[in-house]
Amino acid sequence: MKRVDVEIVAKETIKPTSSTDLPRTYTLSCLDQIAVDAYIPFVLFLPNNNTSRGGIITDDVVSKRSKLLKETLPAILSRFYPFVGKLKDNVVIEGNSEGGVFYVEARVKQTLEEFLCHPDDDKIRELLPEKPHINESWMGNNYAIGVQVNIFGCGGIGLSMVLSHKIIDFQTYMIFMKAWAAAVKGEPETISPSFVASDVFPSDPNLLLSHKPRKSSQLFSTKRFVFDSTVLAILKSQPVANNTSRGPTRMEATTALIWKAAAKASSEVKAFNQQSPYVMLSVVNIRKRSSPPLPENSIGNLFTPAVALCFPTSKPDLPTLIGELRDSIAKENSEKIESMKGENGLKMIKESFKHQMDAISETEYVMVTTSVLNMGIYDLDFGWGKPVWFYYINPSMTSRLLVLIDTPQGDVGVEAIVTLTSDEMEIFQCDTELLSYATLNPCPL
3-class SS at 198? helix
Neighbour-count burial of 339, counting CB atoms closer than 10 A to its CB (0-12 exposed, 13-18 middle, 19+ buried): middle
pLDDT at 181 over 80: yes
CATH, range 220-440:
3.30.559.10
In this prediction, residue 318 has a pLDDT band, given cuts at 50, 70 and 90, of: very high
Where do the structural domains in the chain lie, given as residue ranges? 6-200, 220-440
Least confident of 209-218, 286-295, 328-337, 372-381: 209-218
Q: Tell me how far CA of residue 222 lies from CA of 4, 75, 285, 418, in angstroms.
A: 18, 37, 24, 5
- 177: enclosing H helix or E strand: helix 170-184
Per residue in 49-106, pLDDT (tens digit) is: 875 544 445 567 778 899 999 999 999 999 999 999 999 888 999 887 778 999 999 9
Q: Residue 186 carries which side chain, given as an amino acid letter?
A: G
* Confidence band of 360 (pLDDT split at 50, 70, 90): low
Task: Return the number of other C-beta atoms located less than 10 Å from residue 384's C-beta.
Answer: 20
* Contacts of 445 by beta carbon, 8 Å cutoff, 6+ apart: 113, 116, 117, 388, 389, 408
Q: What is the DSSP letter of 395?
A: S
* Ramachandran assignment for 13, one of left (phi > 0), alpha (psi -120 to 50 degrees), beta (any other): beta
CATH class of 6-200: alpha beta
Residue 135 pLDDT grade (very low, low, confident, very high; cuts 50, 70, 90): confident
Predicted confidence band at 410 (pLDDT cuts at 50, 70, 90)?
Answer: confident
What does DSSP assign to residue 264? H
Nearest by Cα to 40 from 158, 149, 164: 164
Contacts of 347 (CB under 8 A, 6+ apart): none
Strands 101-108 and 145-152: parallel
Give the least confident one: 38-52, 182-196, 263-277: 38-52
* Equal fold, 6-200 vs 220-440: yes
Residue 42, amino acid: F
Distance (Å, whole) CA 80 – CA 285: 20
Q: What phi and psi values does residue 293 have, to the nearest 5 degrees?
A: -60, 145
Q: What are phi and psi of 195, to 5 degrees?
A: -110, 50
Residue 348: CB atoms within 10 A of its CB come to 16
Residue pair 329/223 in contact by the 8 Å Cβ criterion: no
Averaging pLDDT over each range in 19-23, 88-92, 295-299, which range is the top one? 295-299
Q: Which residues contact residue 361 at a Cβ distance below 8 angstroms, ignoring those fewer than 6 apart?
A: none
